[in-house]
Structure 1
Amino acid sequence: MQPDPINNPDTHSGAVRVVLIVDDSRLQLRIMTAMLGRLGYKVLTAESGVEALDICEREQPDLVLSDWMMPEMDGLELCRRFRDMQRDSYGYFILLTSKSEKGDVAQGLDAGADDFLTKPVNSHELRARINAGARVLDMERQLSEKNRQVSDALNELQEIHEAIDKDLRQARTIQQSLVPERVCETATSRVSLLLRPCGHVGGDLVGMFRPGYDRLGLYNIDVSGHGITSAMVTARVAGYLSSNFPDQNIALEKRFDRFYAMREPAETARLLNQRLVADPGVEEYLTMAYVAVDLQTGRVRMVQAGHSPPMVLRANGQVDFFGDGGLPIGLVDHVDYDQHEFRLDSGDMLLLYSDGFTEAVMKNGEMLGEDGLAQLFIEAAKCGQGSDLVEDMFWRLTSQMEDPSKLGDDVSAALLEFDILKDRAEG
């Protein structure tokens, strides 16, 4: 009884199950078929290269044993065409030849042959050569399977990445909606806001609210870290300082059930700290510069909770910084914050900004710093106003950076141009 080449893999090397023998000698075909049949392989035969190619298209044999010297199409040409065929897996090719010169061997290898057998074929050597080919095929198929698994994993990761990227783009839209007004004219002053996250979403937040015609709250916040977690914290803080829902804004308190008055900035910072510290599982903290401005008198009350010091560019060109640091918000419980006060005169400009500006690395390898930002502010103020001014500041920053395509941190700013519309109001 002949062994079953498919269901009894122990009778042969498992990676080689189907063998094609190509020889124009029918006697050689019978001899080789008998040898391989006893070893348990499924044997296919072809008497020419053309017939062999047709069988390879249909059957995709694991291994081809081909005579070198054949009419019409010799073994070298068959091997070349075999290598050009599209296959599901690698096929092993052995040339049967009486040639033994090094030049002939090199020629066969160049054609794509994997091994050689010298005629007349010895059954033990035949089996050894096939076993060697089986080991190669086995490794190749294991590698192909691993590559397939890697490819499947990469495709799955790509799908996950695309889904995450889609969610992040939506999150960016939502975060941008936290700053619905980028430019606002109130009383005789103008406010312009800039928000540029370094990724899809960021941890910076700028905003304003107006409890009355001549009252303005303006803030710049920088949450620790980057990405989704920081963005979620900014969304929560935006609710605490809402411009649309004054009853939820902790910087405001209702008076006589008729109007909202502004709390002292130091008290606002204390309440915000109290809420963030009380949130379970939230490890992020934030820095904040917040000002309450009287747009009639120019009086500014300010709290600086670990944030970059607010800057005032006076109408006469002088630059002043205000604040002495302070503890960030949400870091420790029971914190009292210092409050500062100064005045703005007509034409003065107040800038709240994140350290994405001052810590940006310039082409000389150094950070921009506060002095560099002051110079950048002065230059931009000569060329534009309002949103054009803050956008110009950002453009000047990136044009001087070591790598303009990569922001190392979120960049944000809130600009108040005080009493610049006075002539319009009087007119």
Structure 2
Amino acid sequence: MHAEEFIKSPVLTGSIRRVLVVDDSQLQLKIVGLVLARWGFEVLTATSGPEALRICAETPPDLVLSDWMMPGMDGLELCRRFRALDREKYGYFILLTSKSEKGDVAQGLDAGADDFLTKPVNNHELRARINAGERLLAMQRELSVKNRHLSVALEELREIHKAIDNDLRQARTIQQSLVPERVAEIASSRVSLLLHPCGHVGGDLVGMFRHGGDRLGLYSIDVSGHGITSAMVTARVAGYLSSTFPEQNLALQTMPGNRFAMREPAETARLLNQRLAADPGVEEYLTLAYVAADLHSGNMRLVQAGHSPALLLRADGRIEWIGDGGLPIGLVEEVSYEQHEFRMASGDMLLLYSDGFTEAVMKDGTMLGEDGLARLFRESAATGSGPDLMEDMFWRLTSEMENSEKLGDDVSAALLEFDVL
């Protein structure tokens, strides 16, 4: 090194503070050490590989500047062992060598060296290589800091997600409680309910309420959207069709003597639409299929408000679709609804269902559709009844779906088996 180069070299500051110089030549150690000290580095020196490793273990350097050719442990082996040390921070390693063949360079890189300097060392080149190493270490340590911050943020997110997941599980339990009875025997008929949300909570609701010994209200509701907002709307609507508090049920009309009578289904839909449209802040709407059933005579009155048509499976195997549409509930303020009247005979089955059935995507890419639903209904009815029939339908549906492990929409249904007991 030349004296003028030594004097003109500026003091370096940054990520590299402590440098270990390793060389079996005392003269080379002194020259390089003086230059590095002049630049502001804390300089450590070692005359052999084992001594260098001991220093690295006790006082970890930011940079190691090691001769390649040394007796005993050479610079290549020192580099390998240096990389094997347990360090909190990355250490930069420069090999001093007279080797310039590509094979030698590749061998050094495989051992873990970051850079190379040819001997005799040029002062300007040494400074440039250290600057390059400093930039790399600065980026690595900045990345480490950011990774630590990211780890803290991820842990906080895990805790938040865990809390949300617990809340959603509790919300699912609450929503399931809106359907306290999944099967009921009324007079000589049987009602079964099925509810499978596509997430923790969903926007489907099925239910029933009784009035007198042989009067039944049966409904299937599908709120627009999914998730918590839809679930909150279903909870509110469940109160409007309460089976526990008849005075709050819009489908029942208060009569003299603290008695109740069932309203016409079309009037029930109108009142429900009026109530939902008037609720401030509620932008969701819902579709509804509601049946007022006389289980003594078999006379049925159905209102369909934007919901899928009811599916009637006659005892002789014939299929009838009942309903022709209508506007959803809560979409516009003033709506009138039409109702349909039909009669069920002994052994007939009536199915109210959400479009989670008919719009389910099958393995061939098509949707199940009404014909597919009718097929599933017939197949399940031939093998079982009541809640077993409903679960068999759901099993058949999911086994034919494109993704059998994840529902694309809530799936729900209400089944009335007339005069089967």
Alpha-carbon distance, 1:418 to partner: 0.6
Q: Distance in 1 between matches of 2:117 and 2:13?
A: 18
Aligned to 2:313: 313
Alpha-carbon distance, 1:104 to partner: 1.9
The 8 Å contact of residues 192 and 416 in structure 1, kept in 2 or not, is answered as yes
Aligned to 1:201: 201
Once the two structures are superposed, the pairs formed by residues 111-126 of structure 1 within 5 Å of their partners are: 111-126=111-126
Alpha-carbon distance, 1:247 to partner: 1.7
Alpha-carbon distance, 1:277 to partner: 0.7
The 8 Å contact of residues 351 and 416 in structure 2, kept in 1 or not, is answered as yes
Alpha-carbon distance, 1:119 to partner: 2.2
> Quick one: which amino acid aligns to residue 293 of structure 1?
A
The 8 Å contact of residues 298 and 343 in structure 1, kept in 2 or not, is answered as yes
Deviations 1:395-427 (A, max 9, x none): 111111122122111110000001111xxxxxx
Aligned to 1:6: none
Alpha-carbon distance, 1:91 to partner: 1.3
Moved more, 125-134 or 214-223: 125-134
Q: Distance in 2 between matches of 1:56 and 1:171?
A: 57
Deviations 1:103-146 (A, max 9, x none): 22221111111111222222222111111111121222233333
Q: Find out whether 1:48 has 2:17 as its counterpart.
A: no
Q: Distance in 2 between matches of 1:50 and 1:212?
A: 96
Q: Distance in 1 between matches of 2:263 and 2:53?
A: 88
Q: Distance in 2 between matches of 1:106 and 1:283?
A: 67
Aligned to 1:3: none
> Quick one: which amino acid aligns to residue 78 of structure 1?
L
Alpha-carbon distance, 1:162 to partner: 1.9
Moved more, 38-47 or 178-187: 38-47
The 8 Å contact of residues 62 and 92 in structure 1, kept in 2 or not, is answered as yes
Count how many residue pairs are aligned between Structure 1 and Structure 2: 412
Q: Find out whether 1:60 has 2:60 as its counterpart.
A: yes
Once the two structures are superposed, the pairs formed by residues 85-104 of structure 1 within 5 Å of their partners are: 85-104=85-104
What TM-score, normalized to structure 1?
0.93
Once the two structures are superposed, the pairs formed by residues 395-414 of structure 1 within 5 Å of their partners are: 395-414=395-414
Q: Distance in 2 between matches of 1:317 and 1:108?
A: 82
> Quick one: which amino acid aligns to residue 105 of structure 2?
V
Once the two structures are superposed, the pairs formed by residues 11-410 of structure 1 within 5 Å of their partners are: 11-410=11-410
The 8 Å contact of residues 381 and 389 in structure 2, kept in 1 or not, is answered as yes
Moved more, 47-56 or 377-386: 47-56
Q: Distance in 2 between matches of 1:45 and 1:259?
A: 101
Query: What is the root-mean-square deviation in Å for CA atoms of aligned residues?
Result: 1.5
Q: Distance in 2 between matches of 1:392 and 1:196?
A: 13
> Quick one: which amino acid aligns to residue 124 of structure 2?
H
Alpha-carbon distance, 1:72 to partner: 2.6
> Quick one: which amino acid aligns to residue 334 of structure 1?
E
Aligned to 1:7: none
Alpha-carbon distance, 1:13 to partner: 4.0
Q: 1:11 aligns to what SS in structure 2?
A: coil
The 8 Å contact of residues 208 and 217 in structure 2, kept in 1 or not, is answered as yes
The 8 Å contact of residues 362 and 402 in structure 1, kept in 2 or not, is answered as yes
Q: 2:20 aligns to what SS in structure 1?
A: strand
Deviations 1:181-236 (A, max 9, x none): 10111111110000011111111000001121111110000000111111111111
The 8 Å contact of residues 185 and 191 in structure 2, kept in 1 or not, is answered as yes
Alpha-carbon distance, 1:154 to partner: 2.7
Q: 1:52 aligns to what SS in structure 2?
A: helix
Alpha-carbon distance, 1:280 to partner: 1.2
> Identity of aligned pairs, percent?
75
Moved more, 277-286 or 399-408: 399-408
Moved more, 147-156 or 211-220: 147-156
Moved more, 364-373 or 83-92: 83-92
The 8 Å contact of residues 97 and 118 in structure 1, kept in 2 or not, is answered as yes
The 8 Å contact of residues 13 and 131 in structure 1, kept in 2 or not, is answered as no
Q: Distance in 1 between matches of 2:292 and 2:59?
A: 83
Gapped runs of 5+ residues in structure 2?
1-9
The 8 Å contact of residues 210 and 217 in structure 1, kept in 2 or not, is answered as yes
The 8 Å contact of residues 218 and 292 in structure 2, kept in 1 or not, is answered as yes
Alpha-carbon distance, 1:32 to partner: 1.7
Q: Distance in 1 between matches of 2:170 and 2:224?
A: 22
> Quick one: which amino acid aligns to residue 335 of structure 2?
V
Gapped runs of 5+ residues in structure 1?
1-9, 422-427
Q: Distance in 1 between matches of 2:58 and 2:217?
A: 79
> Quick one: which amino acid aligns to residue 262 of structure 2?
M
Aligned to 1:5: none
Q: Distance in 1 between matches of 2:199 and 2:372?
A: 24
Alpha-carbon distance, 1:18 to partner: 1.2
Alpha-carbon distance, 1:153 to partner: 2.9
The 8 Å contact of residues 186 and 214 in structure 1, kept in 2 or not, is answered as yes
Q: Distance in 1 between matches of 2:409 and 2:100?
A: 69
Moved more, 122-131 or 372-381: 122-131
Q: 1:342 aligns to what SS in structure 2?
A: strand
Aligned to 1:4: none
Deviations 1:359-383 (A, max 9, x none): 1111222111111111110110000
The 8 Å contact of residues 224 and 286 in structure 2, kept in 1 or not, is answered as yes
